[in-house]
Each structure stands twice: as C-alpha cells, then as structure tokens.
Amino acid sequence: MKHYIMVGCDVHDEALVLKIAEDRSEPQTRTVENTARGRAELVRDLREASRRARGAKVVLAYEASSQGFGLYDEWVEAGFECHVLAPTKIARSSRDRRQKNDGHDAEGLLEILRGHVLGGNKLPGVWVPDLQTRDDREIVRARLDASDKAASVKAQVRTLLKRCGRRPPANLSKGWTLSFEAWLRGLTAPGGGLTHGVRAALGSLLRQKAALEEEISLLDGEVEALAGQVRYAEPARALISVKGVGLLTAMVYLSEMGDLSRFANRRKVGAFLGLAPSSDESGPECDRKGHITHQGPWRVRRALCQAV
C-alpha cells in the first residue's frame, strides 16, 4: 500500500503555516519562515519524514496568490508533487468566512488535498504556466498597467477642472485631442485664470501623462517584439485578422491563456474566461440563466469586451 505525506500550506510574505499529516493521521502544525533558508529546511525535513515513512510520497497544496508560482517551482524541483488551488473555487461555509485564521486555512487545504489523494476527489486547482509564459505575461501586463495609469491621470485632470470650476470650450469638450491638451497647457501658465496651487497640480498631472505615454510607446515596442517570436507569430496573425482585434488584444489573449490545447472546445474557453452565463437551477422546470460569471482572467475578459 502506498503511503503519503500531505501538506496544506497557508502562504504569507513572512511565514508559511503548515498542516502536515501522513495518510489519515492527525495533522501536525508547523510554521517556517518564508525565506530561502526556511524553505530549504522544510524540504530537508519532508524528505526525512518520507524516508522514515517507508518512502511515502510528499504532496503539497497552497492557494494561488500574489506570491506567484515560486513555491510550486521549488517543491517540484525538490521531487515533491505540488498543487496550486484556486481560492474562488474552494467552498467555504459562512462560519469559515467569519472565523478565518492561518491554522484553520492550512487545515482546510490539507483536507481538500487528502480528499483528492486518498479519495480521488477533484481538486479546485489552477493551471500552472511554464516559466516562459510567466515571463511573457509580465511584458503584456506592464503595458496594460501603464494604460490604466494614463487613463487614471486623465480622469484626475477632468476632476481637477471640475473642482476649480473650469470647463473646456464647447469645441474641445469631447475627447482628449491635441487641441484640448494645448488648452490645458495654456491653463498652467500664469495669467491662465487658475490659482497657483491648481496650476501646479495640473502641470504635475500633464507631466505624468506625458511620461506614461512615453512608457506606453516603449512597451508597445516590447509587445510587438514578443508577438514576432516563433511561439506567437502565427496565432497572433490569425487573431489580428479578426475584426476589432489589434496586436495588444491578441497578445493579452495568447499570453494569459497559455497552452490552448488544454481546452476541449469553445464552451470550455468561455467558461474559463467567465463569459458563460450563471445558472440558478432547481428541478427540471426551473433553470434561470443570469449574468456572466466574471470568473477567470479579467484582463482577457476586458480586452475581448473592448474588441467586441
């Protein structure tokens, strides 16, 4: 009979809170520092525990978070089996949500893992992209982030004008045109009708906008170079041929979706992106469809909605 050492891990910046159990035994609690030294010590101890348990297989699970997939890489490299779970797919009772603590969270992950390993239950896991895909995502996400920041600065300019009671001329009130920008720059000069503090704030916002636009231009070059790589060139060209889809939208889709062969059909793609309708079914006569679920990668969903 094969034996297992299962570990549920609640991950934090400073520490890892662990619940460790062999097969059906009572779990033991352990906390280690989330440092290279602390994680290396944990790997050594788990290997030793595996040796003492007649070569028991070590299986770990933790929730996906802003920590990324570094832990997954380390533990797989150490020879362990590792699963990254989707927080939004883990069922939690109202009591669990009210009484949340690190040990309880780690134990919950352990029990989900134990049900999968010993009982064959389906894991609420996420797909772990390879290192190259993760690196490609950083370029595309940086481009989207810069665009969002530029849009935020533009909104701040409009809000500042409202606060000081200045409205643009009727012919400049729609859109962010070159003429509108020239009018704004005129307001920053002495004698433009604004107080010193407002002029300083407006000038700062306009400089931020110019810097962000320069950054967007640089990142557009990076995205274009990425799209020219062998792994993206052909699918990117195919996507751009669709009306409404530009290079950035294509690269958002390709980098965030990763290996498209993991989807059996377009229904699976729609469900993954949160574009499938929600369902409220009770019996054969009652199956109400609601709004889309909004689950999955929001960057792709937003890009596709804008393209449409």
Domain ranges (residues) in the chain: 4-119, 131-229
pLDDT tens digits along 44-92 = 999 999 999 989 999 999 999 988 999 999 999 999 999 999 998 888 7
Q: What amino acid occupies position 83?
A: H
Q: Give the CATH superfamily of 4-119.
A: ATPase, nucleotide binding domain (3.30.420.40)
pLDDT given at position 288 = 75
d(CA 254, CA 265): 16
pLDDT at 145 over 70: yes
pLDDT at 237 over 90: yes
Q: What is the pTM of this model?
A: 0.88
Q: What is the DSSP letter of 262?
A: G
pLDDT tens digits along 154-188 = 999 999 999 999 988 888 877 899 999 999 999 99
Q: What is the DSSP letter of 32?
A: E
pLDDT at 17 over 70: yes
Query: For 10, what's the count of Cα atoms within 13 Å in the CB-facing half-sphere?
Result: 17
Mean pLDDT, residues 259-284: 87
DSSP code per residue over 6-19: EEEEEE-SSEEEEE
